[in-house]
Structure 1
Amino acid sequence: MTQEINFAKLIEAANANIELPIRQEPSQNPVDVEKGEELASKPAEAETTSLPPKQLLKLLSAGFSFFVAGANDGSLGALIPYMLTTYSISPSFISILYLATFLGWFLAAFTNSHAPKYFGLGALLSIGATLQLLSQVLRAWTPPFGMFAVTFFLTGLGQAYQDSFANTFVSTVKTAHRWLGFVHAMYGFGLLVSPFVATAIAGNSPRRWELFYLFPLGLSVFNLGLVLIAFWDSVQIITRGTQDEAEVESGRNQNAWKEVRQIIKMKYVWILSLFFFFHLGVGTTAGGWVVEYLVQVRHGDLKEMGYVPAGYYGGLCLGRLILVEPTHRFGEHRMLLVYSVISLGLQLVFWLVPNIISTIVMFSVMGFLMGPFFAALIDLGLIFVVAQAGAAIFPSLIGLIASHAGVKVLPPIVAALIVAMGITWAFVPKIPNEHQD
């Protein structure tokens, strides 16, 4: 099982003023997320048994939702040059798109804790899927830039609902670290596929680049349908007709909210949040602006450079599949520090060696090393929101600076973010791991 946050022990430690590592091994008795009941202890070999078909379908639905999110997010870097031309805007206006996405996540942060009082898990996932579907419908006909920006708010809100609740669901199953690796690898796979589709469409029809959004539109339709099928047993609005369930659910959420309020007072939660603030800032900033950088600074061909983000995202996808086991076995604290140091070296080569081929290779390998970061640790809504703040602020900063100094500022800013990421991770307490030497 993956190492998850143990709320009860965190609160106990906080009350006793004890500095406790923020991640603990889960209870020996797994929890049935469908019924909220603790199951009896089972032999170790039970971990290897196959999952029930119903739960497997839910896990596949969760994985596909991350693929849809990746397909959306991975397209921006390839399409930014076309957006600048079509809307006749400066790079600073792109910051509005990132800000709108963050506002969606920010709004979700204030409602995520209360929404389960009124909606079942399936209903919450369906709401998130519907919002994402609506955003793609509005984009496909090249709306005015103001409306175009609003669609990013809808996407952010929809992803915040669906992905955060799906992530929490996946973190409760047997061998969760493998399934978390799977769903986050699906996000990386979506990131990988998206630039290929976006560049192929925009490159052949530069004036109709918005037709790309028919692709995530189709995915969003399938995403909503899969959620409704897999989670139909919890697609409900909690009413007086289900009073007993409502009282139980309300009691759980009230207790959970009290626990969260105590947890956010603990400094290590904020350190971890700050780490992901910089980490997601690295990936989103690099992936979002690399095409514009290679075209404007390295004088690459736009039709070819549009595929470059796929190298980073492909590496990200492979990293989440291949590195999840060694990262878990040798310890997240040790391995993520190693990945951070190597990534800094790769980014320096990206910056200082003016060769497009080496730039693309360094960029792709850095994506591979960044792969296991997100899946290894994120399972708290606060961290999701702070991470999304980094995903919005730093790409926006690049856009604002690029309007005056040019996009050449990308490599040093990304290098600084990697340094900040590594430093904050060094302050996260080291967690004992039974697999470590």
Structure 2
Amino acid sequence: MSATAMPHDSGGLQLQTIQNTSLDDARNVASAEQPTPLSRKVILKLLSSGFSFFVAGTIDGSLGPLIPYMLRSYNVGTSFISIIYAASFVGWLLAAAANSHMLQYLDTGAILAIGAVFQLISNVLRFWNPPFGLFATSFFICSMGMGVQDSHSNTFVSTVNGAHRWLGFIHAMYALGALVSPFVATPIASSMQSRWSMFYVFLVGLGVVNVVGVLVAFRGSIRILPKQASTSGDDNAPGRGREALSGMANTLRLRVVWILSLFFFFSLGVGITAGGWVVEYLVDVRHGKLSQVGYTPAGLYGGLFLGRLLLAEPTHRFGERRMILLYCVIILGLQLIFWLVPNIIANATALSLLGFFFGPLFPIGVSVGTKLFPNSVKASALGLVFVMAQAGGSLFPSITGFIASSAGVKVLQPILVGLIVAMGTSWILVPKVPNRSD
């Protein structure tokens, strides 16, 4: 079942509505809550979704190792890197605002293709070492594409059998991309120095494969949706634009959306702040060599990858609420080790273990959200959750950059401790998942 074809929550359907539909439509309504069985076509779509997350991971995972080269190449301070994070946030915000409208006009494949093309364009703008203004703008374009593709890939994956496992898979692919990225970015940047931006040629190649993967896997849904006739016969029924606004309004009224968004706000703030600033921290505070510590984020993302693969099932079986709280406590302990033990090897080890226990937080949070959100607003609700996550992932690294410009990168550690505490506290506020047939 495609994400855009997802019907409204069956709890709100009345018998009269079913009687007014065709026999096929009634059957679709009756079976709408059943997970989509796995088939070759569905598995191909899952693999395409997983690869899109791999591409997103390589994009995000490269920023940390490249920040020192950006600072020196463009001759700017750490506060200027905050512009990149701010541009990324605006891109995610626009993607979230456009989600409801896109659902009214485009089928799933078309939406995913647009997101993939935007990411490809952004990397084409980067590899030739453009002026800083254009370079920062490319992050806006990239985040807009990621916001569109990631949201609807998550929505699609949440409809298949064993969704929690497949969500773990696609988010593990993100971590794998972030793991691979430093091993490609650091050698290119350290050997070419002034031509460090040539790393983005690698991302252009991945972007082409991403676009082709979407066009092949979702070829049956790459289309503009025809305007549906009103079943009530009312010629004055609201248009698609008004329906999109109504759907967004319904999403904004849901308390659970804002509570879960708060958790993601702090969660992604932890992950991106740690991954983005750890290299500069180890160089400036721990006095490590840039060519060596540039690989450190790979330990974080390697832990993320293994955590999402290995912890998804036990987290699901032993209960998401208690397990996520346990992970938050362990993460806090590892962060304190990272802060208080002045040894680069110990820091890298603690960061890798932190990534392992941090890994399942995002996919399990998405899985919980898909069970708490009504089906009628699931795509737009996930889009809002992701933009709030990206808000944290943009805001806190930006704050770190601004403070570090005057107080030094050592402020990274107390900021991370505060974010981890806030993340665990916000998870306590998330409602319990009710027993639902889907």
Q: 2:288 aligns with which of 300, 303, 306?
A: 300
SS of residue matched to 1:113:
helix
SS across alignment from 1:88: coil
Whether the 8 Å contact between 1:11 and 1:263 is mirrored in structure 2 is no
1:406 aligns with 2:398: no
> What's the CA shift for 1:39?
3.3
Match of 1:160 in 2: 147
Partner of 2:268: 280
Q: Aligned ranges for residues 105-184 of structure 1 at < 5 Å?
A: 105-184=92-171
Q: How does 1:241-390 map to 2 (within 5 A)?
A: 242-244=226-228, 258=246, 261-378=249-366, 379=370, 380-390=382-392
CA offset digits 1:258-282 (Å, max 9, x no partner):
4653343343321211111000000
Counterparts of 1:152-231 in structure 2, within 5 Å, are 152-231=139-218
Structure 2 CA distance for aligned equivalents of residues 267 and 41 of structure 1: 23
Mapped partners of 1:341, 1:290: distance in 2: 21
Structure-1 residue corresponding to 2:17? none
Deviation at 1:377, TM superposition (A): 2.2
CA shift digits 1:68-95 (9 cap, x unpaired): 0000000000000000000000000000
Q: Structure 1 residues 189-198 or 109-118, which shifts more?
A: 109-118
Q: Which runs of 5+ in 2 are unaligned?
A: 1-6, 14-23, 233-237, 371-381
User: Per-residue deviation at 1:7?
Assistant: 7.6
1:39 aligns with 2:31: yes
Mark the CA change 1:54 to 1:353 in structure 2 (over 3 Å): closer, same or farther.
same
SS in 2 for 1:174: coil
In the alignment, structure 1 residue 420 sits paired with structure 2 residue 407: no
Q: Distance in 2 between matches of 1:205 and 1:246?
A: 61
Q: Match for 1:286: what amino acid? A: A
TM-score for the superposition, normalised by structure 1? 0.86
Q: Structure 1 residues 373, 251: closer, same or farther in 2, change over 3 A?
A: farther
Number of matched residues? 400
SS state at 2:125 partner: helix
Residue 236 of structure 1 is matched in structure 2 by 223
Deviant stretches of 4+, over 2 Å? 6-12, 35-42, 242-248, 250-269, 429-434
Supply the AA of the counterpart residue of 1:188.
A
- After superposition, give the CA deviation of every residue in 1:37-60 in whole Å (9 maximum; x if it has no partner): 553999xxx99x8x2111111111
Matching of residue 81 in structure 1 with residue 68 in structure 2 = yes
Which position in structure 2 is the counterpart of 1:22?
A: none
Residue identity in the other structure for 1:321: L
**TM-score for the superposition, normalised by structure 2:** 0.85
One-letter amino acid matched to 1:224: V
Partner residue, 1:99: 86
1:128 alignment partner AA: G
Relative to structure 1, the CA distance from residue 346 to residue 247 in structure 2 (aligned partners, 3 Å threshold; closer, same or farther) is: farther
Ranges in structure 1 where 5+ consecutive residues have no aligned partner: 1-5, 13-31
CA shift in 2, pair 1:292/1:173, >3 Å: same
In the superposition, relative to structure 1, how do residues 121 and 406 fare at CA in structure 2: closer, same or farther (>3 Å)?
same
Find out whether 1:59 has 2:46 as its counterpart. Answer: yes
Name the % identity.
58
Contact 2:115/2:147 (8 A) holds in 1: yes
The C-alpha deviation readout for 1:179-233, integer Å capped at 9, x for no partner, is 1111011001001000110011111111111010011110000100111011111
Q: How many Å apart are 1:331 and its aligned residue?
A: 1.0
Would you say the 8 A contact 2:116–2:210 is kept in 1?
yes
Deviation at 1:294, TM superposition (A): 0.1
- Kept after mapping to 2: 8 A contact 1:91/1:402: yes
Task: Tell me the CA shift for residue 430 of structure 1.
Answer: 3.3
Q: Is the Cα–Cα contact under 8 Å of residues 327 and 335 in structure 1 kept in the other structure?
A: yes
Amino acid at match of 1:305: V
Once the two structures are overlaid, the 10-residue window that deviates more, 83-92 or 250-259, is 250-259
Partner secondary structure for residue 75 of structure 1: helix
User: Quick check: 2:10–2:33 contact (8 Å CA) kept in 1?
Assistant: no
Residues 230 and 247 (structure 1), Cα distance of their counterparts in 2 relative to 1, 3 Å cut? farther
What letter is aligned with 2:384? L
SS at match of 1:172: coil
Q: Distance in 1 between matches of 2:421 and 2:384?
A: 23
1:57–1:36 CA distance, 2 compared to 1 (3 A): farther
Across the aligned residues of Structure 1 and Structure 2, the Cα RMSD in angstroms comes to: 2.8
Partners of 1:247 and 1:57 lie apart in 2 by: 35
